[in-house]
Structures are given as structure tokens and as C-alpha cells.
Chains A and B, each alone.
Chain A
Amino acid sequence: AQSVAQPEDQVNVAEGNPLTVKCTYSVSGNPYLFWYVQYPNRGLQFLLKYITGDNLVKGSYGFEAEFNKSQTSFHLKKPSALVSDSALYFCAVRDTADRGSTLGRLYFGRGTQLTVWP
């Protein structure tokens, strides 16, 4: 079954330190992977995606993520955290092997609340 796991409900880091938000996935075929960010009372904003090619993808606001096929992971990273990065982060996967009624569906993780303190 297709699924996404974000093992940490909460991540706390000090401003200026590197941050990592973890994501692992389970799909039948090849994955298309996405990261979104949600600020309070707002919708989800797209950050970056992995479709194919280089395992390290760069996205908005200095974020990047590394696709690791053997570990089925797609962790979100940033070298130096900002207080303004504090938000709820969602990992999502689209399974290319999906058929029928689930074709193209995006599977979301439960979200990780990132808090960056000054």
C-alpha cells in the first residue's frame, strides 16, 4: 500500500543551525515526491519535488531534499534555519504505478511542526 511517514511530529532547532525534516515513503512503482509548507491559517505552499535525475533537489527559500531510493527516504534540509521557517511541513508522494481510481493520487504524511527559536 502507498504511504508516507513523517516520524517526527515536532522538530525544534536554533536559528542558524542546520535543520532536517524526515520523510519515508512506500509505493509500488517509482515515486514522485513533494514537499509542502503550511503557515498558520493558510493553504499548502509547494517547496520542491523529485521526479527523476539528480538525487539532491533544490527548492524555494533555500530548502533542499535528498532522494534515497535504498532507504526510501526524501528528507528535507536547510543549512541554516531562520525563525521565519517555523511552520508545518508536509511530505507527499505520487505513485506512478497507481491505476484505476487511485491514479495520480497524492499521498500526504501527517506533517511535522518545525519551530526555529532565536
Chain B
Amino acid sequence: ETGVTQTPRHLVMGMTNKKSLKCEQHLGHNAMYWYKQSAKKPLELMFVYNFKEQTENNSVPSRFSPECPNSSHLFLHLHTLQPEDSALYLCASSQGYRERTEAFFGQGTRLTVV
């Protein structure tokens, strides 16, 4: 248990559905991240929030919409996804965006788009 909790663990959705992924951390961290992990590809950084402010959007399609209502919670809203969006979505947090500290990862949400 790393202190970063993601729900749901598994999600199957159709291309016309709307769903949300949730991430929660109780570590007192100020920075939160969304990563996408696809088979045979490197980890892709999607979004970064520092003190609830989005500091990075790594050219992610608009069908992915992040929300960070406070430093402890991060959401990823999904709509009209494509089959190639099927992947493991990982949330992470760290003490700060520029700090020397490591990031702590949640267990991920395995997303399948059908």
C-alpha cells in the first residue's frame, strides 16, 4: 500500500460512454500526476497538477479531461474514447513538482475500450 488509491481497478467502457477515474492520496503531497501505460510502450506522462494548478498537459487529446478539486484528489474524465486508449492508467503523487523526492504510484486502473 503506497498511500495512493485509484478506483476503479478495472473499467470496460464503450466508445460513446462517459466515465471517470478517481485518485486519492493521504500523504500530504502537493503534486499529482496521470500516466498512461500501454503494452510495449514507455510510460507516458499525461497531466501534472501542482498545488491544484495544472502545470503540464502533455499534448493529450481532449477526450481526456483532468480535474483536481484539491491537493488530495485527482480525476480523469473520459468521453468518446477510442480502442487505442485501452491501457493501464496510473496516478502518482509527490511532495512537490521540483523536489528531490520520489513519486508514489497507485495500483492503476485497467481500462478497456470496446
B33 to chain A, nearest CB (A): 8
> Is A22's beta carbon under 8 Å from chain B?
no
> What total of A-B pairs shows CB separation below 8 Å?
54
CA distance A103 to B99 in the complex (A): 10
Which residues of the other chain, B, contact A51 by a CB distance below 8 angstroms?
100
Asked if A43 and B100 make an inter-chain contact with CB atoms under 8 angstroms apart, the answer reads no
Asked if B107 and A43 make an inter-chain contact with CB atoms under 8 angstroms apart, the answer reads yes
Which residues of the other chain, B, contact A94 by a CB distance below 8 angstroms?
100
A44 to chain B, nearest CB (A): 4
Contacting B98 at CB < 8 Å: which of A36, A43, A104, A110?
A104
A residues in contact (CB < 8 Å) with B: 32, 34, 36, 41-46, 49, 51, 90, 94, 101-106, 108-111
B residues in contact (CB < 8 Å) with A: 2, 4, 6, 31, 41-43, 45, 48, 55-56, 90, 92, 96-100, 102-108, 110
18 A–B contacts, CB within 8 A, in A order: A36-B105, A42-B107, A42-B108, A43-B2, A43-B6, A43-B90, A43-B92, A43-B105, A43-B107, A46-B103, A90-B43, A94-B100, A102-B56, A103-B98, A104-B48, A104-B99, A105-B45, A108-B42
